[in-house]
Amino acid sequence: MNRPILFLLALLLLPAAAQPDDSRSITLNLPPESLGQWYRPVAKRDVWLHTMFALRREMQAVAEYSALGDSRRLGQWLERLEADYRKIGEMVPEWQDELELELFERMRKAGSPEALARLQRKLRRSCQGCHREYKLVAALRYRTPDFTTVKVESSESMEEETYSAVMKRLTLLVNRVKIASVDGRRKAALDALDALQVRLADLGESCQACHKESAARERILGKAAGDSLTHVRAGIESDDVRSTGRYLGEFAVRVCADCHAIHRLQSDLRRLLSKR
């Protein structure tokens, strides 16, 4: 929440004639397309990420056995480290030239733990260089849930709808409840509320596309959400505009905003980064 506000403030405080300048924008580089094949659903598991975890472990083992003076195990782990480091260029050929492969020959010949540690620091710089540029973008692009492929089945029309379409409909219905209740159109408000509850139940069925357990659904669409809407209904039926508004707001936070904080931000970022 803070950042957009700070950003707006910064804009307001700029002299009116100021042009947008570079300090107000950042550039993100997309990783090469070939990285995508090492992630689900193209791959069976997130092979790339697991290779990275292996690299981190191998770096640690090399440092520890070097310090312990255990040259046999050190040799074994250096071999694994090199093999996995080479895989980077095999998996993503565009990154082949970024690798510091010549360091391994020198690491094998390092005469002391200190010399080896220095070479490992050099290697780590090559890890960090790539991470600075691509790590965040790759994680968002390939490891956040993809809502563009999830369908929600409408229990009225029996048709499958996209998340985006369902969301627009939910927004319309929430606002229709609000408008009709403010203007004392009780029947229109109740009709919209009924439709909203049907749509929410349909949305709830879609959670299981990714969530095997019902806990996630319950947390967002469960009792708390139902209680808010029960109060909204009571408010409409008794023409209590203030109470209706209050509980409709509570519902919007508990259901819409809470789920958006988890899923919509990521989904929007993924969509942005998936543009070619």
- Which residues have CB under 8 Å from 208's CB, separation 6+? 214, 217
Among 80, 185, 231, 260, the residue binding ligand HEC under the rule CB under 6 A is 260
- Which residues have CB under 8 Å from 84's CB, separation 6+? 51, 54, 55, 58
Residue 151 touches ligand HEC, criterion: CB under 6 A: no
The answer, yes or no, to whether the previous bond of 41 is cis (omega within 30 of 0) is: yes
Binding-residue pattern over the window 15 to 34 for ligand HEC, x denoting contact by CB under 6 A: ----------------x---
| CA 235/CA 90 separation, integer angstroms | 64
- Which residues have CB under 8 Å from 93's CB, separation 6+? 34
User: How near is the Cβ of 110 to ligand HEC at its closest, in Å?
Assistant: 16
Indicate the residue among 70 and 205 with the shorter CB distance to ligand HEC.
Answer: 205
First to last CA, the chain: 29
User: How near is the Cβ of 89 to ligand HEC at its closest, in Å?
Assistant: 8
Residue 271 touches ligand HEC, criterion: CB under 6 A: yes
Residue 78 touches ligand HEC, criterion: CB under 6 A: no
Residue with tokens 């191998």: 58
| CA 99/CA 103 separation, integer angstroms | 9
Residue 85 touches ligand HEC, criterion: CB under 6 A: yes
Residue 49 touches ligand HEC, criterion: CB under 6 A: yes
**Are 236 and 181 in contact, with CB atoms under 8 Å apart?**
yes
Q: Is the dihedral of CA 257, 263, 264, 265 positive or negative?
A: positive
Q: Which of 22, 265, 276 is nearest to 144 (CA)?
A: 265
Give how many residues touch ligand HEC by CB under 6 A.
59
Dihedral Cα 21, 22, 25, 29, nearest 10 deg? 150
Indicate the residue among 77 and 134 with the shorter CB distance to ligand HEC.
Answer: 134
Binding-residue pattern over the window 215 to 254 for ligand HEC, x denoting contact by CB under 6 A: xxx-xxx---------------------------------
Residue 152 touches ligand HEC, criterion: CB under 6 A: no
**Are 53 and 63 in contact, with CB atoms under 8 Å apart?**
no
Residue 47 touches ligand HEC, criterion: CB under 6 A: no
Q: Which parts of 188-217 interact with ligand HEC (CB under 6 A)?
A: 203-204, 206-207, 209-211, 215-217
- Sites of contact with ligand HEC (CB under 6 A): 31, 48-49, 52-53, 55-56, 59, 85, 88, 95, 98, 123, 126-127, 130-131, 134-135, 138-139, 142-148, 150, 163-164, 167-168, 170-171, 174, 203-204, 206-207, 209-211, 215-217, 219-221, 255-256, 259-260, 262-264, 266-267, 271
